[in-house]
Amino acid sequence: MAPLLTLDGITQVFNLGQNRRVRAVEEVSLSVDPGEILCVVGESGCGKSTTGRMAAGLLRPSGGRVLFQGSDIWQLKGDAYNTYRRAVQIVHQDPYSSLNPVRTIFQALSAPLYRHNLVKDQAEARRRVVELLELVDLTPAHEILGKYPHQLSGGQRQRVSIARALTVQPQFIVADEAVSMVDVSIRASLLNMLFRLNKQLGVSFLFITHDLALAKHFAWQGRIAVMYLGRVVEVGPTTQVINSPSHPYTKALLSAIPEPDPEVTRSKQRIELRSLEIPSLLRLPSGCAFHPRCPVWEEGLCDTQRPPLKELPGGQLVACHVAARKDDLEGVG
């Protein structure tokens, strides 16, 4: 099956003026198949949001290509471009700024329907909007239509954002921390709803989050990509990445996360890193960007040569000299 969306070595360099350039995203290659869920995880500054925006076509890559069904989206014109534009949608993190405060819910949701001639008249638009609201569990839908965003709770606003993304019947949704600013008790409901959309409508997801437990849950049958300082350091099936991580950074992250279970979390083995300082994107370390903090780094190798993404026997890709070699040896021995 050909991938639906492919990020082919995309790079994003932000120019801050005075010759200061931030390489926010560096040669990221990921692909998502139809109906698949890919989670991109990492800490702040790792470039996951920027990657998401490039995937959604909102930011042009400084290098590399974004391919939709095999075609470079920045080369598309006319009908082909319209098809792409409708097929890939984005849902943002902040329920407070993702909806236009001066438009009612009905206006916000009907605009794309009219624009793309998906409905014939206002009556049909109303019916379709009600359908969409029910699809995201916003009931009673009729009462929501005339409201303004500030009259809804955070969780409801996020549902409206998702409904808006669904108006054009997308095949792919980029969810950028879409549930992070919502209460925990509501989060589960939103996540289950997104999962249902994936299963029933076959919508693929690029789910960006800093919460690994959330990523594990949402992408349990999919894949996770871990980013650090602009690069993908590990990517593979969720079960692999979470249960048997290969990259030292992934291992450190997983060991550091507290769990909602006192016995488990208090007895968890923590991995100590060599340094607590996060390098600035303006002055990236030489070789492997993680080496100043890595507990298993090798002098002469990790600080001089940047590790490429290598495939391991388990199916995941890892960018680490040590991890790649270790599994090589284990494969041999």
Partner 1 sequence: MAQLARKDEPGQAETPQSNGAIRFLRLMRRNRVGFVGFLFVIAVLLLVLVGPLVVELDTKTHVDRIYAAPSWEHPFGTDHQGRDVWAQIVHGGREIIFVAALTAVIATSIAITLGSLSAFVGGKVDALLLGAADVVLTIPQFPLLAVLAGFIKLSNTTSIAIILGLLDWPVLLRAVRSQVLSIREREYVQAVQSLGLGTGHIIFREILPNMLSYITITFILGMTGAMYAQVGLILLGLVPMSTNNWGVMIYLAWVRGAIFFKDSILYILAPIGAIALFQLALVSTARSLEEVFNPRLRVGE
Partner 2 sequence: MPAISKGKVILSVRDLEAEYTSRRGAVRALRRVSLDLHQGEVLALIGESGCGKSTLGFALTRLLPSSARVVGGSIIYRQANGTEYDVLKLQPESLRAFRWKESAMMLQSALNAFSPVRRICDHFLDTARAHGWNDRAAVLQKTADLLGLVQLDAGRVSGAYPHELSGGMRQRVLLALALLLEPRILILDEPTTALDILTQRTIIDLLRNLQRTLGFAMIFISHDLSIAAELADRVATMYAGRIVEIADVYDSFYRPAHPYTHGLIRAVPRLGGNDQELVSIPGSPPDLVGRAAGCSFHPRCPMATDRCRKEDPPTTAVGASHLVECFHWERVTSAVDFAEEG
Q: Say what angle helices 105-115 and 154-166 make with each other, to 10 degrees.
A: 10
Span 11-70, contacts to partner 1 by CB under 8 A: 56-58
Kindly determine how many residues on this chain lie close enough to bind partner 1 according to the rule CB under 8 A.
Answer: 43
**For partner 2, which is the closer residue by CB, 132 or 191?**
191
Q: How far apart are CA 155 and CA 138, in angstroms?
A: 10
Q: Is the peptide bond before 149 cis (omega within 30 degrees of 0)?
A: no
Binding of partner 1 at residue 156 (CB under 8 A)? yes
Q: Cα dihedral angle (292, 297, 299, 301), rounded to 10 degrees? A: -110
Place of tokens 């699809």: 135
Contact partner, 305, from partner 1, partner 2, none, Cβ < 5-8 Å per class: none
H or E stretch at 321:
helix 321-332
**For partner 1, which is the closer residue by CB, 87 or 302?**
87
Among 137, 285, 306, 310, binds partner 1 (CB under 8 A): 137
DSSP 3-state of 4: coil
Binding of partner 1 at residue 158 (CB under 8 A)? no
Q: Residues with Cβ < 8 Å from 170, sequence gap 6 or more?
A: 86, 87, 88, 89, 203
What residues line the site for partner 2 (CB under 8 A)? 43-44, 153-155, 183-192, 210-214, 216-217, 220, 242, 252-254, 256-266, 270, 273, 276-278
Binding of partner 1 at residue 165 (CB under 8 A)? yes
The one-character DSSP state at 75 is G
**For partner 2, which is the closer residue by CB, 102 or 184?**
184
Residue 35 buriedness (CB in 10 A; 0-12 / 13-18 / 19+): middle
Span 185-224, contacts to partner 1 by CB under 8 A: 189, 192
Among 116, 128, 251, 325, binds partner 1 (CB under 8 A): 116
DSSP secondary structure letters along 183-236: -HHHHHHHHHHHHHHHHHH--EEEEEES-HHHHHHHTTTSEEEEEETTEEEEEE
DSSP secondary structure letters along 268-303: PPPPPPS--PPPPTTSPPSSSTTTTT-TT--TTTTT
Binding of partner 1 at residue 115 (CB under 8 A)? yes
**For partner 1, which is the closer residue by CB, 42 or 57?**
57
Binding of partner 1 at residue 86 (CB under 8 A)? yes
Closest contact distance (angstroms) between CB of 176 and partner 1 is 9
Closest contact distance (angstroms) between CB of 190 and partner 2 is 8
H or E stretch at 143:
helix 141-144
Contact partner, 252, from partner 2, partner 1, none, Cβ < 5-8 Å per class: partner 2
Closest contact distance (angstroms) between CB of 217 and partner 2 is 4
Tell me which residues touch partner 1 (CB under 8 A). Answer: 56-58, 82, 85-86, 88-92, 94, 97-103, 111-112, 115-116, 137-140, 147-148, 150-156, 161, 164-165, 167-168, 189, 192
